C-alpha cells in the first residue's frame, strides 16, 4: 500500500512523475546550462536586458488581458440591456421535410442578442441599419 503511487492508475502517479522530472532536471542539468550561467554571471547587462524584456512582455500581456476583459464586460452589459420580455412570438412557421428552399439557419437568443448589439452600434455610428 505504501508504494501504490508507482502504479499508473493511482491518483498520485502524475504528481510523482512530475516530481521525478523536476528532481532529474536539478540533479542532472543539461551540459550547456553551466556555460550559460557562467556567461550570464559575467555579463550583467545581458541579464538586465532579458529582465527588461520580460517585464515589458508581462506588462503588455496584462494590458491585453485587461482590454479583453473590458471588451467582454461591455458586451455583457450590452447584452444585459436587451429587454428580452419585449420580444413576442408572432407566428411559428413549420417547414415540412419535403419542402425545398433557401431557408436561413435557426437562431438562438445569443445570436439575436448579437444582432441587436450590432444594429445598435450601426445606429450609433450613423451607418446602415440593415438587419443581419
pLDDT value of position 103: 67
Say how many CA atoms lie within 13 Å of 113 toward its Cβ: 14
In angstroms, the first-to-last Cα distance of the chain is 64
Burial tier of 82 (Cβ tally within 10 Å: 0-12, 13-18, 19+): middle
pTM of the model: 0.45
Cα dihedral 45→48→49→52 (10° resolution) = -160
When the pLDDT of each residue in the chain is averaged and rounded to a whole number, the result is 87
pLDDT (tens digit, 9 = 90+) per residue, 75-115? Answer: 999 989 888 888 888 888 887 878 777 766 777 878 888 88
Amino acid at each position: 500500500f505504501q508504494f501504490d503511487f508507482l502504479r499508473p492508475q493511482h491518483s498520485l502517479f502524475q504528481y510523482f512523475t512530475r516530481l521525478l522530472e523536476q528532481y532529474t532536471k536539478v540533479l542532472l542539468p543539461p551540459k550547456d546550462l553551466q556555460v550559460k550561467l557562467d556567461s550570464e554571471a559575467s555579463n550583467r547587462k545581458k541579464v538586465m536586458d532579458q529582465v527588461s524584456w520580460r517585464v515589458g512582455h508581462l506588462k503588455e500581456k496584462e494590458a491585453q488581458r485587461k482590454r479583453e476583459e473590458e471588451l467582454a464586460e461591455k458586451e455583457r452589459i450590452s447584452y444585459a440591456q436587451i429587454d428580452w420580455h419585449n420580444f413576442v412570438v408572432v407566428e411559428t412557421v413549420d417547414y415540412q421535410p419535403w419542402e425545398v428552399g433557401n431557408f436561413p439557419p435557426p437562431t438562438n437568443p445569443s445570436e439575436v442578442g448579437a444582432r441587436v448589439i450590432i444594429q445598435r452600434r450601426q445606429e450609433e455610428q450613423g451607418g446602415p441599419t440593415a438587419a443581419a
